[in-house]
């Protein structure tokens, strides 16, 4: 109970959950007042997603129970959670892509909605919800045509339509552009105003400070601290999460770039529909430098990484790498690019970085599995693979350090460490790296950034794509800005600030400068 005897919207009492040897949650207690946004933070593998999965009925707790509005409820599956007014927006959306927003929302909650009047009633209800919560969405749009930010709003609508009064958001901004993230936080304000309670999991302390009322910290399966957000700081929260002081900036000396390792000349790419996704890209990557690509996602950065890494062919242009000229007529695939000492950390670890059914030691050699280091004459050399995996898990602090755990069963941030370690430890001449710290906790970010700078200092070339402007500014020596498939500007990282980059990313920089000049001369 809260002090004024209003029951908490949700209260967790001594929740514990074990997976084999791993105690994922231990005696977790949490009290969340109604109409508040409650942040939950913790290192990768601390047990946040497990706890949310228990609340939403994906897992059953071994011991402990949950109260909603002061009443104990038994949650054995997601339907029980939905019946108790709990909704969840997952990191990976669960939508039918070729269905409309309306169809997605009523799917599984049809009741009478399958009948014609039912659909109309649902449409009216959806429009009302969309308006009430600032969701700004066309209910007849087809989901696959919507950008990720809007797809996420469909997930929120789905939960609200099912009557959710408690909404769980697991890393909701991981895939959003800064503008989409801002809109999401406006939606959270609207939800709060209507008395909805939000549980927000995020690694971004800036978001915690900006949008939550209270925050709880998990470490190694336990709840170790609760704070009122207004009375804490980034530094305190980082320390509470990791158990030691964390450096929140990147420490690096000035770059001394030398030989050109990669040169893209007039590279263009058309997609299957004939739309030009990459427009005459020219760029050079030199030994000993980190080049950051800034841009609102969807402006060609992913296509650029895919073409440079050999995952997709270019349509026009030339790529010069390690003395070889790669063209649309003489393309190379990803395996051949690896042979040119180019490594690639893909933006989406699930789709391209890992095979989630593989054990960690198998995933740790993916793409390099034909190397004679791992591939014996007849069978794979498992002992070498497992020994190496053990070593990397120790060096990169992968938790749990178990080479035989399926990669699906590692937490998101630990999956990311497995992928990055695999690519960096090949000691490539060129590293293409997309969203290196997505879903990664603050302590592990520090380590990943250090490793990237170390690679640069050993004379390697790094191309970094990230939606995190802070990360681009902190790591890069040079920043290239993309807009609508083209390079629209380049800056020395020393001259970059958030405002300039933001304007360049919206292709509005020169326009604003011109406006300013007009204003001055008037």
Maximum distance among all alpha carbons in the chain? 79
485 part of the interface to ligand ATP, by CB under 6 A: no
Instruction: Tell which residue, 394, 341, 333, has the closest CA to residue 364.
Output: 394
- Of the two residues 29 and 311, which places its CB atom closer to ligand ATP in the complex? 29
CB 490, CB 479: distance < 8 Å:
yes
413 part of the interface to ligand ATP, by CB under 6 A: yes
Judged by CB under 6 A, the residue of 147, 313, 400, 459 near ligand ATP is: 400
Interface residues for ligand ATP in 158-197 (CB under 6 A)? none
Sketch the per residue contact string, 438 through 467, with ligand ATP: x for CB under 6 A, - otherwise.
-x-x--------------------------
Binding residue count for ligand ATP, defined by CB under 6 A: 21
Stretch that binds ligand ATP, among 101-109, 238-246, 283-291, 412-420 (CB under 6 A): 412-420
Cβ-proximal residues to 77 (8 Å cutoff; 6+ apart), any chain: 57
Stretch that binds ligand ATP, among 1-9, 38-46, 251-259, 345-353 (CB under 6 A): 38-46
Stretch that binds ligand ATP, among 39-47, 104-112, 209-217, 283-291 (CB under 6 A): 39-47
19 part of the interface to ligand ATP, by CB under 6 A: yes
CB 442, CB 253: distance < 8 Å:
no
Closest distance of CB 219 from ligand ATP, Å: 10
SS3 state of residue 50: helix
List 306's β-bridge partners, or say none: none
Closest distance of CB 309 from ligand ATP, Å: 25
Closest distance of CB 20 from ligand ATP, Å: 6
- Of the two residues 143 and 398, which places its CB atom closer to ligand ATP in the complex? 398
49 part of the interface to ligand ATP, by CB under 6 A: yes
- Of the two residues 104 and 402, which places its CB atom closer to ligand ATP in the complex? 402
47 part of the interface to ligand ATP, by CB under 6 A: yes
Closest distance of CB 160 from ligand ATP, Å: 24
Residue 261, CA atoms < 13 Å, CB-side half-sphere: 26
- Of the two residues 165 and 399, which places its CB atom closer to ligand ATP in the complex? 399
Closest distance of CB 404 from ligand ATP, Å: 11
Residue 108, CA atoms < 13 Å, CB-side half-sphere: 12
216 part of the interface to ligand ATP, by CB under 6 A: no
399 part of the interface to ligand ATP, by CB under 6 A: yes
d(CA 308, CA 429): 14
48 part of the interface to ligand ATP, by CB under 6 A: yes
> Strands 222-228 and 289-294: what pairing?
unpaired
CB 206, CB 237: distance < 8 Å:
no
Q: Quick one: 85 exposed, middle or buried, by C-beta within 10 A (0-12, 13-18, 19+)?
A: buried
Judged by CB under 6 A, the residue of 177, 229, 299, 411 near ligand ATP is: 411
Q: How far is CA 136 from CA 116, 130, 183, 193, in A?
A: 24, 6, 10, 17
Cβ-proximal residues to 348 (8 Å cutoff; 6+ apart), any chain: none
Judged by CB under 6 A, the residue of 356, 409, 426, 447 near ligand ATP is: 409
The secondary structure element, H or E, covering residue 309 is none
Cβ-proximal residues to 275 (8 Å cutoff; 6+ apart), any chain: none
Stretch that binds ligand ATP, among 150-158, 348-356, 407-415, 502-510 (CB under 6 A): 407-415
22 part of the interface to ligand ATP, by CB under 6 A: yes
Cβ-proximal residues to 147 (8 Å cutoff; 6+ apart), any chain: 180, 298
Closest distance of CB 430 from ligand ATP, Å: 28
> Strands 461-465 and 430-434: what pairing?
parallel
- Of the two residues 299 and 437, which places its CB atom closer to ligand ATP in the complex? 437
- Of the two residues 280 and 409, which places its CB atom closer to ligand ATP in the complex? 409
List 285's β-bridge partners, or say none: 262
Angle at 168 between CA 162 and CA 173, to 5 degrees: 115
Judged by CB under 6 A, the residue of 30, 46, 255, 283 near ligand ATP is: 46
Judged by CB under 6 A, the residue of 410, 421, 429, 468 near ligand ATP is: 410
50 part of the interface to ligand ATP, by CB under 6 A: yes
d(CA 442, CA 181): 19
SS3 state of residue 123: helix
Stretch that binds ligand ATP, among 46-54, 100-108, 137-145, 154-162 (CB under 6 A): 46-54
d(CA 74, CA 214): 26
Closest distance of CB 157 from ligand ATP, Å: 25
The secondary structure element, H or E, covering residue 27 is strand 22-32
CB 414, CB 45: distance < 8 Å:
yes
24 part of the interface to ligand ATP, by CB under 6 A: yes
Closest distance of CB 4 from ligand ATP, Å: 32
412 part of the interface to ligand ATP, by CB under 6 A: yes
- Of the two residues 340 and 442, which places its CB atom closer to ligand ATP in the complex? 442
Beta-strand ranges (E) seen in 149-275 are 166-170, 197-201, 214-219, 222-228, 260-270
d(CA 144, CA 122): 21
- Of the two residues 183 and 203, which places its CB atom closer to ligand ATP in the complex? 203
Residues that bind ligand ATP (CB under 6 A): 19, 22, 24, 42, 44-50, 399-400, 409-414, 439, 441
């Amino acid at each position: 109970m809260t002090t004024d005897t209003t029951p908490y919207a949700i209260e967790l009492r001594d929740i514990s959950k074990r997976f084999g040897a791993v105690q994922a949650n231990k005696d977790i207690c949490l009290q969340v007042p109604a109409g508040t946004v409650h942040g939950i933070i913790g290192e990768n593998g601390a047990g946040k997603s497990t706890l949310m999965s228990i609340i939403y009925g994906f897992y059953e707790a071994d011991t402990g129970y949950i109260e909603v509005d002061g009443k104990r409820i038994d949650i054995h599956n997601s339907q029980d959670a939905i019946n108790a007014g709990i909704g969840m927006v997952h990191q990976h959306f669960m939508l039918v892509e070729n269905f409309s927003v309306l169809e997605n929302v009523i799917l599984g909650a049809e009741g009478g909605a399958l009948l014609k009047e039912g659909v109309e009633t649902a449409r009216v209800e959806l429009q009302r919800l969309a308006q009430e919560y600032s969701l700004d969405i066309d209910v007849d749009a087809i989901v696959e045509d919507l950008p990720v930010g809007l797809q996420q709003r469909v997930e929120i609508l789905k939960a609200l339509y099912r009557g959710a009064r408690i909404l769980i958001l697991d890393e909701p901004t991981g895939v959003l552009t800064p503008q989409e993230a801002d809109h999401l936080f406006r939606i959270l304000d609207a939800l709060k105003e209507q008395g909805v309670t939000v549980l927000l999991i995020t690694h971004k302390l800036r978001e915690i400070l900006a949008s939550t009322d209270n925050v709880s910290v998990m470490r190694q399966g336990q709840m170790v601290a609760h704070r009122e957000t207004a009375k804490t700081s980034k530094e305190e929260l980082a320390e509470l999460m990791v158990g030691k002081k964390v450096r929140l900036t990147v420490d690096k000396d000035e770059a001394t770039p030398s030989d050109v390792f990669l040169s893209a000349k007039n590279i263009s790419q058309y997609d299957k529909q004939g739309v030009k996704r990459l427009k005459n890209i020219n760029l050079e990557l030199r030994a000993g430098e980190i080049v950051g690509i800034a841009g609102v996602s969807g402006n060609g950065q992913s296509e650029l990484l895919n073409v440079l890494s050999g995952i997709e062919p270019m349509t026009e242009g030339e790529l010069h790498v390690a003395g070889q000229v790669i063209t649309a007529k003489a393309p190379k695939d990803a395996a051949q690019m690896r042979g040119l000492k180019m490594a690639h950390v893909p933006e989406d670890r699930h789709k391209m970085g890992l095979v989630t059914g593989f054990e960690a030691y198998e995933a740790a050699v993916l793409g390099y599995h034909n190397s004679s280091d791992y591939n014996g004459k007849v069978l794979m050399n498992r002992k070498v693979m497992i020994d190496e995996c053990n070593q990397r898990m120790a060096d990169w602090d992968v938790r749990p350090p178990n080479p035989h755990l399926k990669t699906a069963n590692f937490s998101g941030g630990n999956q990311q460490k497995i992928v990055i370690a695999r690519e960096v430890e090949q000691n490539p001449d060129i590293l293409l790296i997309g969203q290196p710290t997505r879903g990664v906790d603050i302590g592990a970010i520090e380590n990943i950034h250090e490793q990237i700078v170390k690679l640069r200092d050993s004379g390697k070339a790094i191309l970094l794509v990230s939606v995190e402007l802070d990360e681009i500014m902190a790591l890069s020596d040079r920043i290239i800005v993309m807009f609508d498939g083209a390079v629209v500007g380049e800056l020395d990282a020393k001259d970059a600030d958030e405002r300039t980059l933001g304007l360049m990313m919206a292709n509005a920089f020169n326009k604003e400068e011109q406006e300013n000049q007009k204003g001055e001369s008037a």
